[in-house]
Each structure stands twice: as structure tokens, then as C-alpha cells.
Amino acid sequence: MSIVVLVGDGMSDRRVSILGDRTPLQYSRNRNMCLISKLGENGIIDPISPGVTPGSDTAHIALLGYDPFEIYTGRGVLEALGSGISLKRGDIAFRCNFCTLDEKGVIVDRRAGRIREDGEILAKSLDGIRISGVKIKFKQALAHRCVLVLRGKKISHEVTDTDPKRVGVKPLIPKGRGEDGERTAEILREFLNIAKETLSEHPVNKERIRKGLPPANFILLRGASFLPEVQKFKERFGVNGACIAGMSLVKGVARLLGLDVVEVEGATGGLDTDVLSKADATISSLDKYDFVLVNVKGTDEASHDGKVFEKVNMIEKIDLLLGRILEEKGIEELTIAVTADHTTPLEVKKHTGDPVPVAIYSKSARRDSTRLFDEISCSSGSIGRISGKNLLPIMFNLEGIGEEFGE
């Protein structure tokens, strides 16, 4: 078996005025994606359900054949697993951002200039702290993204976020629910005070200020979660699988579900990611694994920043990635799907609940009349409109995987 799901993160869009009211997929040169559409089956996917805005985490859980409503406990655990932190039952994990506060404590940049190279040094200055018997693990995940893990007794995920998700206001103060929740919130409040003092005085931030860069002088917390019980991917489907991604969140979803994570040099999770290295890693992984999930994050980053032609360019890079896989493996040897995890419109700059296009090729697939890969063309395909968790069962059926239901 050689089964591939290629996910352009946030690749789906709405019509964009500067592109002549076309979507970036309609505007771009994506001939390899269109080849999958031409030779296969097409449709549109509601990653969660119609009109529900998915996160990248819940969308990938669904695209991997699981119901996120049953197993999703929050983003923090997934970021921690994706960053290589081993979690224990009872640990509480948070997704974090380095951010920039002004002298009045107001957020002026939620991502501290998308800090990259200095983040690891700053994170180490906050790692290993103990507060009220609770050990704190703090680690940079990717760029401005970080992970906070609390390990100890009488702690809870029932605490509020501190990220207001906008600039021009002060961070929120964490509050807890119940006795353990309030104890956890108190620990977080003390940790944030330590973080503010430590980061403000850190030589790295003083140097950033000298260079005219925004200092990473505070932490925003959200997504408190705990490790859920999950049936592993191979046990669930009888297929051994791997994941190729630059973003720690997607790696975390993979590790939670029991997929192996293949590390790829140059996979940055940004616009500068090395797509051909990801393609080569996919090709070599298919010699060992039956199934490979490939995520490319750059399209989502461009969308959040409203960078129209950067998104178009990233779509064309993803198309090159696909072309390399098709050329080296041969399309006849593959069962392959191209899709997105959610819609991130350039003119909205955040996720929305619009469905995303999907094209599936297999030697066993019915061939419909769709010839182009985009949000509108795929909507007229033979697959119709499905939920994210339906994608893998459809692909596995084409490979003859799965048992008959009934007699």
C-alpha cells in the first residue's frame, strides 16, 4: 500500500478581489493538483461539520479518521507532544506565545515579531522552575510558539486562557474552577510574574531592543489540556502510518494517534519551508509505511498575514511537492488525496467554517467530470460533501481495507 494525504494548511479560501474575484487555488498554476482531480474523484469536505470553524488540531484529528468531539481535550497537549515532550497522566499542558508588552503592560505584538532564533534561549530561562511543589517544563515549539507543562499534585486543566487574541489590551489574568483549578491558576499567576521579570531583564531581549526588534518579554497562555485515552491508528485501521510536518501541532496530533513523525531538515512550518525535502521524505517513507500524512503550513501563515501572492506562490510550491511524489512513485502506484484542513480567507485573516476541496486518485477510483482543483470545481464532483472523518474510510475502501458491516 502507498496511501498519501497531502494537506495544504489553510489552503482553501474565498474569492479575493485583487485576484479578479478568484480564489488563490483558482488563480494559481496547480497542474499536478488538477491532474489528481482529472483522473480521480472530487468533492468538498466539512472538516468538522457544516459551518463549524475548525482549528488545525481538530481538523487533522478528523482527517485522520477520528471524531474530535470524542478525543480532543485542548491544544496544549498536542503542542507538547509535537515538541517532543513526554507527557504523563495528570500533566496539564498549555499552548503559549511569546509576546511583546509595552511599558504599560499592553500587548503590542502577540507573536513578538514571530521570533525564531532567540526563542530557544529565552525558553530555557523559564524551564525547570518549581512553584508550590509543581514542576514547570517550558520549551519553544516553533518560532514564537511555546509549550508549558505543569507536573504535580492537585492541578487541573480547568483554568482560563490569558490570551485576549488581540493587541491594544492587557493580558487576561488566569482564573480557575474548583479547588484544584484555583490552585493551578495561582501557580500560573506566579509563573507569569516570574516570566515577566526574567524576560524583561534577559540579555537577548535587551539586544533585540537595541536592534529595533520587538522583545519577547511576556507569555500568553491558552488551550489547557490533559492527555486523553485514544485507540492508536494501527489498531484502529490495521495500517502503519507516518506524518511529515514542520508544525509541532500537527506532529502532536500524529504522536497522540500513534503515527510515527518523520523529521525533515528544512521543514520550518513557514513560507520558507523546503517542500522538495518533504517530497523526498514522503517518497522514502512509503518504502516503510502504508500511509503518510503530509502537512504544509505556509499557505495558512500567508492567509493569516493577508499576503495574497505569497499564498499563491505557496500553493504552487505545494504543487511542486505533489509533482515530485507523482514523478518518483508513479501515480498508478498511489492512492492519494489532496485537500486542506480548513479555510483561511486572505481577506478575513482567520479560520472560517467554509468547506474545503478534496481530490482522490486511486486505480480503483471512479473518474468524474471534474478537471480543475479548486473550491468550486471540486464541489460538483462525485464524492459530494462529506465530513473530515469520512476521508480515510473512503481511501481505505479503495485499497480494499476494512471489514464488511453486517452480512
pLDDT digits (tens, 9 = 90+) for 220-233: 999 899 999 999 99
Res 254: pLDDT: 98
Q: Please give the helix or strand (H or E) that residue 339 lies within, else none.
A: strand 335-339
pLDDT at position 404, please? Answer: 86
Cell 514547570 belongs to 136
CA 183 to CA 165: how far, in whole Å? 25
Residue 116 confidence (pLDDT) = 82
Going by their DSSP bridges, the two strands 145-151 and 218-225 should be labelled as unpaired
| Residue 270 pLDDT > 90 | no
Cβ-based neighbours of 308, under 8 Å, separated by 6 or more = 16, 18, 19, 24, 302, 346
What's residue 181's pLDDT?
Answer: 97
pLDDT at 143: 83
Strands (E), 208-302: 218-225, 241-244, 260-261, 291-296
- What are 92-110's pLDDT values in tens digits? 999 999 999 999 999 999 9
Average pLDDT, the chain: 96
Give the other-Cβ count within 10 Å of 113's Cβ.
Answer: 18
- Find the length of the chain: 407
CA 279 to mean position of chain CA atoms: 18
Q: Quick one: pLDDT band at residue 12, thresholds 50, 70, 90?
A: very high
Tell me: pLDDT of 294 over 90. yes
CB 45 within 8 A of CB 355: yes
pLDDT in tens, 302-315: 999 999 999 999 99
What are the DSSP calls for 312-337, one per residue? Answer: HHHHHHHHHHHHHHHHHH-GGG-EEE
Which amino acid appears at position 61 of this protein?
I
pLDDT at residue 186 tops 80:
yes
- pLDDT of 320 > 90? The answer is yes
Mean pLDDT of 179-207: 97
In the numeric block, the cell 473530515 is attached to 388
Mean pLDDT value across residues 133-145: 91
Query: Where in the chain is CATH 3.40.720.10?
Result: 3-72+230-398
Evaluate if residue 407 carries a pLDDT over 80: no
List the Cα angle 349/104/223 in 5-degree steps. Answer: 45
pLDDT of residue 233: 97
The top-level CATH class assigned to 3-72+230-398 is alpha beta
Confidence of residue 1 (pLDDT cuts 50, 70, 90): confident
Which pLDDT value is given to residue 402? 84
Q: Which helix (H) or strand (E) holds 63?
A: helix 56-63
pLDDT at 63 over 90: yes
Instruction: Name the residue among 15, 30, 86 with its Cα closest to residue 339.
Output: 30
| CA distance linking residue 7 with residue 341, whole number of Å | 6
What is the model's pLDDT at position 28?
98
